[in-house]
Amino acid sequence: MRISIAAALAASAFLLALAPVANAQKPEVDDFKIALQFGIGYLPLTIMKANGIVEKHLKAAGLPDTKVSWSTLGAGAAANDALLSGSLHIASGGVAPFLILWDRTRGNLNVKAVTALSSMPMYLVTNNPNVKSIRDFTDKDRISMAGAGSSIHTVVLQMAAAREFGDANFNKFSTLYRNLSHPDGLAAFLSGKEVTAYFSSPPFQYEALEKPGVRLILNSYDLSGGPATFLVTWATSRFRDENPKTYQAFLNAHKEATDFINANKRQAAEIYVRESKDRSGTEAILKLLNDPEIRITMTPEKTLPIADFMSKTGTLKGKAGSWKDLYFPELHNLPGS
């Protein structure tokens, strides 16, 4: 039986139409849930969300039907709770809350860091004219920080207290903490009422320093000896093992976003201002992205010293032998620390 050219073309067109369906795979997870927080340290995640980069790489991996959901949380502890409850796949936050969950889940969920997000300084500022350094804090002072008690800011202040007053007094200022998100803490600090000190991150700390009478009393880089990873993303080993294509799509998207930021800082600043509704404006954010103290990088920097301090003080029961113990293998080729 002879088949006409028209019939053959129609059959070919039908097969081509089916090809994308055949190549597409069932989603590993129907709804891929990722968390971010406030501040430019989360800029890679902000860019990934705004530009649909995760969806792009999921599609390239043959998973076009995977939905990507983003949530904005106020602290790493909340991200840990969400990860443990199964309502989150990729958490993000400071190194300290990640390390706490890494320690708690060793031998079961085996949480590890997926990527570093950024290295940037954390500033402790005050509006109390009597406070020239942390030695001058009294029981009348109140220090606002996000995730007070478990955040990376908490650990850095503990490190500073241990240096000034001895290791036994690392938790000297715990009664002064006020647990507020960075935006809420800034508002409370600038109100001039209860909060007399503010430990934050870019861009909020710079907004605080613009106000008369506010001055810097501690830079986290003074303790770390230079640039140190501020924020990371983390996940359970189970999620990584059971969803390899989704996990790799996130990694690929993260690298694309990081490269985009470093090659297009003005455009990245514009996207951040639009997405965050930051009042400081594009030029102010661009200035921060050009600050040599601030690095948008996937490479872990000085993570292990933080873990060592937390082990020494008993916050962590275990001890990491290397920074590679803390991160999944996909980052082990980077010059981390």
CATH number of 116's domain: 3.40.190.10
- pLDDT digit string, tens, across residues 256-305: 999 999 999 999 999 999 998 888 889 999 999 999 999 999 999 999 99
**What would the mean pLDDT of 106-118 be, rounded to a whole number?**
96
The predicted structure's pLDDT at residue 307: 95
Please tell me whether residues 102 and 155 are part of one structural domain. Answer: no
Q: Judge contact between 65 and 32, C-beta under 8 A.
A: no
The predicted structure's pLDDT at residue 24: 64
The predicted structure's pLDDT at residue 202: 82
**What would the mean pLDDT of 167-171 be, rounded to a whole number?**
94
Query: Of all helices (H) and strands (E), which one includes residue 72?
Result: strand 67-72
- For 200, phi and psi rounded to 5 degrees? -140, -150
The predicted structure's pLDDT at residue 246: 98
Alpha-carbon torsion 292, 298, 304, 309, what sign?
A: positive
* Furthest-apart CA atoms within the chain: distance in Å: 99
Q: Per the domain annotation, does 156 fall within a domain?
A: yes
**What would the mean pLDDT of 311-325 be, rounded to a whole number?**
95
Please tell me whether residues 114 and 235 are part of one structural domain. Answer: yes
The predicted structure's pLDDT at residue 216: 96
Residue 43's closest CA among 219, 233, 228, 194? 233
Q: How many CA atoms lie within 13 A of 249 on its CB side?
A: 25
The predicted structure's pLDDT at residue 10: 47
Cβ contacts of 179 within 8 Å, gap of 6 or more: 75, 145, 146, 147, 148, 149
Q: Point out the least confidently predicted range of 36-40, 82-86, 194-198, 266-270.
A: 36-40
Q: Per the domain annotation, does 155 fall within a domain?
A: yes
The predicted structure's pLDDT at residue 162: 95
Ordered DSSP codes for 264-318: -HHHHHHHHHHHHT-TT-HHHHHHHHT-TT-B--SS--SHHHHHHHHHHTTSSSS
Q: Which residue range(s) make up the domain with 109?
A: 28-120+228-331
**What would the mean pLDDT of 64-85 be, rounded to a whole number?**
86
Please tell me whether residues 235 and 295 are part of one structural domain. Answer: yes
Please tell me whether residues 315 and 251 are part of one structural domain. Answer: yes
The pair of three-digit structure tokens given for residue 195, joined into one six-digit string: 């909060």
CA angle 204, 266, 284 (to 5 degrees): 30
- pLDDT digit string, tens, across residues 3-49: 444 444 344 444 444 444 435 678 899 999 999 888 889 999 999 99
| Residue 165 reports pLDDT greater than 60 | yes
Please tell me whether residues 104 and 234 are part of one structural domain. Answer: yes
The predicted structure's pLDDT at residue 38: 80
Please tell me whether residues 232 and 216 are part of one structural domain. Answer: no
Kindly report the number of other CB atoms within 10 A of residue 45's CB atom: 26
The predicted structure's pLDDT at residue 192: 84
What percent of the chain stands above pLDDT 90? 74
Q: Per the domain annotation, does 21 fall within a domain?
A: no
For the chain, how many structural domains are there in total? Answer: 2
Residue 234's closest CA among 125, 110, 118, 66? 110
For residue 123, what pLDDT band results from cuts at 50, 70 and 90? very high
Q: Point out the least confidently predicted range of 12-26, 89-103, 214-228, 250-264.
A: 12-26
Q: Per the domain annotation, does 203 fall within a domain?
A: yes
Where among 224, 250, 273 does a domain terminate? 224
Q: Per the domain annotation, does 79 fall within a domain?
A: yes
Please tell me whether residues 138 and 209 are part of one structural domain. Answer: yes
Kindly report the number of other CB atoms within 10 A of residue 269's CB atom: 24
Please tell me whether residues 115 and 233 are part of one structural domain. Answer: yes
The pair of three-digit structure tokens given for residue 98, joined into one six-digit string: 């990640």
- Report helix, strand or coil for 64: coil
Q: How many CA atoms lie within 13 A of 23 on its CB side?
A: 12
**What would the mean pLDDT of 45-68 be, rounded to a whole number?**
97
Cα–Cα distances in Å, from 188 out to 38, 127, 128, 192, 194?
16, 12, 14, 7, 8
- For 26, phi and psi rounded to 5 degrees? -65, 135
Alpha-carbon torsion 11, 16, 22, 27, what sign?
A: negative
Strands 215-219 and 143-145: unpaired
The predicted structure's pLDDT at residue 76: 67
Please tell me whether residues 131 and 146 are part of one structural domain. Answer: yes
Alpha-carbon torsion 207, 210, 211, 214, what sign?
A: positive
Cβ contacts of 100 within 8 Å, gap of 6 or more: 80, 150, 310, 315, 316
**What would the mean pLDDT of 241-257 be, rounded to a whole number?**
98
Please tell me whether residues 70 and 133 are part of one structural domain. Answer: no
Q: Per the domain annotation, does 300 fall within a domain?
A: yes
The predicted structure's pLDDT at residue 16: 44
The pair of three-digit structure tokens given for residue 130, joined into one six-digit string: 């009597």
The predicted structure's pLDDT at residue 104: 95
Please tell me whether residues 239 and 104 are part of one structural domain. Answer: yes
